Amino acid sequence: MGNCWSSALVAAVAVAVAALVMAAKPRDPSFNLISIKLTSFKLKFPVLDAEAILTVEVSNPNVVPINYSDTTMSIFYDGNLLGSAPIDAGSQPARSSQQLHLPARLSGLKLAKHGKRFMSDVGKREMVLDSTVDICGAAKVLWWDHKFKVHVDSHVIVDPVFLDVIDQDNKSQLDVFVGS
């Protein structure tokens, strides 16, 4: 009978470990641009530069909290770098969502190089912006830090008049590094 109990205990532990491994499988975080709010215009004759706050919702679907380092989001218009938004180092609890408010700088000179297309976009009330960011960090499991890198590509359609987000497609790829 004792042998039966030890077999049952081993089976229960094996099932618990398998469930933990399945639950702990790293999953890609999600990113969604919620809003764009212009905060200032700066005239640098003959063009106007703009500063904005991008509100981005980030979801961590994983069962462990993450810590990440400083990085910069690059923002593109018509395939050319339009501006950037710094992302400060931070952390996010397990299975949570939070909003980040990113200060962005957009170059009017770079936008002016696409003046004809921009005016067409204003007429259509649809402007396509692309962005890319690489976020590096670590997820702590017990006493080990598992390093990771997330690459995010975003394709966002905004109304260039009111800066409303019309549509977006965000793709992220998570790489987890084994070892130190």
* pLDDT tens-place string over residues 127-156: 999 999 998 888 776 666 778 888 889 999
Question: For the residues 100-116, what does the mean pLDDT come to?
Answer: 88
Say whether pLDDT at 172 is over 70: yes
Helix, strand or coil, per DSSP, at residue 8:
helix
Q: Could you tell me the two tokens for 26?
A: 């790293």
What is the pLDDT at residue 21?
A: 46
Q: pLDDT digit string (tens) for 117-126?
A: 989 999 999 9
1 pLDDT band, cuts 50/70/90, is low
Q: What percent of the chain has pLDDT over 90?
A: 33
Determine the Cα–Cα distance for residues 114 and 29; give it in Å rounded to an integer: 33
Q: Are 55 and 35 in contact (CB under 8 A)?
A: yes
Domain that residue 42 falls in = 2-177
Determine the Cα–Cα distance for residues 143 and 136; give it in Å rounded to an integer: 19
As for how many domains the chain has, the answer is 1
Question: For the residues 3-20, what does the mean pLDDT come to?
Answer: 54
Query: Among 152, 160, 179, which residue's Cα sits nearest to residue 57?
Result: 152
Q: What percent of the chain has pLDDT over 70?
A: 79
What is the pLDDT at residue 140?
A: 72
What is the pLDDT at residue 179?
A: 57
Say whether pLDDT at 178 is over 50: yes
Determine the Cα–Cα distance for residues 156 and 75; give it in Å rounded to an integer: 10
Give the predicted TM-score (pTM) of the model.
0.78
Task: Give me the amino acid identity at 30.
Answer: S
More confident residue, 144 or 9: 144
Helix, strand or coil, per DSSP, at residue 122:
helix
The CATH number of residue 140's host domain is: 2.60.40
Question: For the residues 55-74, what does the mean pLDDT come to?
Answer: 88
